Amino acid sequence: MKQHNLHGSVLAVLFLAFFVMPEYHDGVFARIMVLAVYAVGYNLLFGYTGLLSLGHALFFATGMYGLALPMQHLDMGPVPAFLTGLAAAAMMSLAVGFLALRTTGVAFMIVTLMFAQAGFLTILYFGEYTRGDEGFVIQQADRMIAGLDFSDPTTRYFAAFCIFAAAFLFIAWLMRTSFGKCLVAIRENEDRARMLGYDVQLHKLLSITLSGVISGASGAAYAFLFGYAGATFASVQYSILPLLWVLLGGAGTTIGPLIGTAFAFYLVDFSSEITDAHLLVVGAAIVLLTLFAPQGLAGELRRRLFAWLP
């Protein structure tokens, strides 16, 4: 019950925040919510299943280009293009999972990293269509669904809110099912889970696929709402970012991804105001958090105050 209240409250705050916050922060929060979806997807694999991937930018970018390329080159409408993005991310993560899950631990990290690099280079190689690093803009005229203009800040905020709410509630639900609990069991003690009769490989494969689809949804929504797709989003940096957000917010918690993403955004925002060396501030904050809240912000709250925190 507490969990339902918490999830309801988080969403209510995000919904109402739009009417209270200054316009600038509405824009920032639209971006945070879309990217928090990416962190939610990453958290499913890393926080709940215990698999550290360094190649999630591949899934994010697959969703992004899965939407943007058909819209750009085939004049596909946004809704089918979004579904294409999801389907592409699903296939990509299924294929990568099928191969990468033959490895474990450090090898899994390296293999996922290599796949993502291959994806990044592929995007550059097909620069004729993808425009490579430069990327391309999705015209405002194309960013319309049923008469609604998704480049408008209000529409964009609530579109971001809806997609975040969907991912957030999906994970909250999933982790209460026996499938979700088995993922946690695999994270905690893989051999024991297997010897209780669970098909560990299959659960991992489904986890990486779901994680890839959610990450891809974030990428597709990002391209659509902010009107841009570029190869930067497939680079290593974008594989590290969700890891960072989840670590900051609290791996294996439902609200951690949102907290971590928002925290990281505002940390950069705040520190760029006071110094050019804003990455120094970010680095110091990460070091402090690692020292004093190794389980992330939500993880630390759970440890100290609210043991029931999901």
Partner 1 sequence: MTLLSTQGLTKSFGGLHAVRNVDFNLPEGQIRALIGPNGAGKSTFVGTVIGRLRASSGDVLFDGRSISHLPAHRRIGLGIAYTFQITSVFERLSVHENVALGVRRSGGSDTETEPRVRQALSRTGLLDRADSHAGDLSYGHQRLLEIAMGLGQNPRLFIMDEPTQGLSESEIAEFKSLIRSLAGDTTILLIEHNMNVVMETADIVTVLNFGEVLAEGSPAEIRADRLVQDAYFGTVSGA
Binding segment (CB under 8 A) for partner 1, from list 68-76, 136-144, 179-187, 284-292: 179-187
Long-range contacts of 188-192 (CB under 8 A, 24+ apart): 188/50, 190/50
What x/- string results for residues 190 through 229 when contact with partner 1 is judged by CB under 8 A? -xxxxxxxxxx-----------------------------
Q: Say how far apart CA 252 and CA 69 lie, in whole Å.
A: 34
User: How many other CB atoms sit within 10 Å of the CB of residue 112?
Assistant: 28
4 binds partner 1 (CB under 8 A): no
Examine residue 166 and tell whether it contacts partner 1 (CB under 8 A): no
Query: Between residues 214 and 301, which has the closer beta carbon with respect to partner 1?
Result: 301
* Residue in 144, 184, 205, 267 binding partner 1, rule: CB under 8 A: 184
Pick between residue 173 and residue 270 the one whose CB is nearest to partner 1: 173
Q: Taking the alpha carbons of 275, 244, 219, 234 in that order, is the dihedral positive or negative?
A: positive
Contact between 74 and partner 1 per CB under 8 A: no
Contact between 185 and partner 1 by CB under 8 A: the answer reads yes
User: Min. distance of Cβ 213 from partner 1 in angstroms?
Assistant: 25
End-to-end CA distance of the chain: 11
C-alpha distances in angstroms, 256 versus 157, 250, 251?
Answer: 21, 4, 6
Minimum gap (Å) between residue 188 Cβ and partner 1: 4
**Least Å from the CB of residue 122 to partner 1:** 35
Stretch that binds partner 1, among 100-108, 187-195, 243-251, 257-265 (CB under 8 A): 187-195
By CB under 8 A, is residue 269 in contact with partner 1? no
| Count of residues touching partner 1 (by CB under 8 A) | 17
* The one among 9, 189, 237, 290 contacting partner 1 by CB under 8 A: 189
Nearer to partner 1, 23 or 199 (CB): 199
Segment contacting partner 1 by CB under 8 A, of 94-102, 111-119, 175-183, 223-231:
175-183
The minimum distance between CB 193 and partner 1, in angstroms, equals 7
Residue placing its CB nearer to partner 1 in the complex, 131 or 203: 203
Q: Can residue 301 be called a binding residue for partner 1 (CB under 8 A)? A: no
Q: What is the spatial distance between Cα 104 and Cα 52, in angstroms, rounded to a whole number?
A: 9
Q: Contact between 181 and partner 1 (CB under 8 A)?
A: yes
188 lies in the binding site for partner 1 (CB under 8 A):
yes
102 binds partner 1 (CB under 8 A): no
Quote the CA–CA distance of 192 and 206 in Å, as a whole number: 19
Q: Apex CA 21: angle with CA 16 and CA 23, to 5°?
A: 120
| Nearer to partner 1 (CB atom), residue 200 or residue 241 | 200
Residues near partner 1 (CB under 8 A) are 178, 181-182, 184-185, 188-189, 191-200
